[in-house]
Structure 1
Amino acid sequence: MDNPAEVNKDARVKKMMLILSKATIDNVYACFILANGARMEGIEAEIFFTFFGLEAVQKKKLEHLHVATVGNPAMHIPTLLGGLPGMESFATNMMKKEMEKLDIPPVGEFIEILEASGAKLWACKLAMDMFHLEREDLVDEISDVITVGDFYNRAQGENTHLLFI
């Protein structure tokens, strides 16, 4: 590929729309790092938290996210071993320690950073209703609770990219 600095400015990404449907710690950080990277490059970034992805922005759950050790092919451990008591906690703590070494903030702090950078954080109305959640259950940084249609309407425009995580 060409040097990114030489890419036609009219063809550059202008907006990243990320959809987070799972709140495993690896998915949450992947989403947040991509959104933060977009903001650092001057690209608009919006995250739509739906289904289990809502756990990443629930006040009672965001500090208790974990690595999924069962059924995760990237773990490179047998499924049976991943299901042993303590394995999930062990893998989660190892990942958190490695992220801390790289100065990657905890989830709650990362949410604050994203909001301060201008990223928009949306909660899915359908998932909120399905899980019987109220706006008060979510972190204050959530911009609003919106429908899927509202989210798609926000994705209109040239050079907008949607990414499902």
Structure 2
Amino acid sequence: MTKKMAIIASKGTLDGAYPPFLLASTAAALGFEAKIFFTFYGLQLLKKDLSPKVSPLGNPAMPMPVPMPNLLQILPGVEAFASWMMRRKLKQKGVASLTELRTICLDSNVELIACQMTVDLFDFKNHDFIDGISHGGAATFLAFASEADITLYI
């Protein structure tokens, strides 16, 4: 019997995007049937234009070159710098890009499900998204998740 992993991806930030793709692609490599349900801001990760950012604001665990008070983190350019820094660090360490991980998931038969309610809520159109995804509601995903060996909310 095939093991199953169900993941809910609700964050569209750079640091929130890696866990669902990494976990699902690893699960698929280990023979799991894996599905990711992208809802609310996580839906951004299925768009053709994949350019998430990371915000140091309110993220005390984010390693910065120098400690930075929250007040300074709201200044223009800080988010762009933090995003650049994170992308640079990922590349230096040989971590696959989000586009590569997303493609690995699709090639590994991980089902990427766009939450239809969120698509409607934010007035997205099908042409906004990459090819190869499916659409479904919470009931569709819960039918799978209720039988999953591992269910994660990220």
Give CA-to-partner distance per residue, 1:40-74, whole Å, 9 cap, x none.
Answer: 221221111100111111123x1x21102212232
- Contact kept in structure 2, 1:18 and 1:47, CA below 8 Å: yes
CA distance in 1, matches of 2:135, 2:94: 31
Say which of 18, 21, 25 aligns to 1:36: 25
Shift of 1:22: 1.0
Shift of 1:156: 3.3
- Could you tell me the TM-score, scaled by structure 2's length? 0.89
CA distance in 1, matches of 2:19, 2:71: 26
Give CA-to-partner distance per residue, 1:85-139, whole Å, 9 cap, x none.
Answer: 2111111111111111232222222211111011110000100000011222111
- The reply to whether residue 154 of structure 1 matches residue 141 of structure 2 is no
- The reply to whether residue 98 of structure 1 matches residue 86 of structure 2 is no
Residue 3 of structure 1 is matched in structure 2 by: none
Specify which structure has the higher proportion of helix: 1
CA distance in 2, matches of 1:79, 1:72: 9
Residue identity matched to 2:87: K
Residue 44 of structure 2 is matched in structure 1 by: 55
Say which of 120, 138, 147 aligns to 2:111: 120
CA distance in 2, matches of 1:114, 1:82: 34
Shift of 1:15: 1.2
Q: Secondary structure at the match of 1:54?
A: helix
CA distance in 1, matches of 2:25, 2:96: 12
Deviates more, 1:103-112 or 1:38-47: 103-112
Structure 1 moving runs of 4+ over 6 Å = none
Residue 136 of structure 1 is matched in structure 2 by: 127
- Contact kept in structure 2, 1:135 and 1:145, CA below 8 Å: no
Q: Which runs of 5+ in 1 are unaligned?
A: 1-9
- The reply to whether residue 73 of structure 1 matches residue 60 of structure 2 is yes
- Could you tell me the TM-score, scaled by structure 1's length? 0.83
Residue identity matched to 1:53: G
For the aligned residue pairs, the C-alpha RMSD in angstroms reads: 1.8
The number of aligned residues is: 150
1:9-24 aligned within 5 A: 14-24=3-13
Deviates more, 1:132-141 or 1:121-130: 132-141
Residue identity matched to 2:77: G
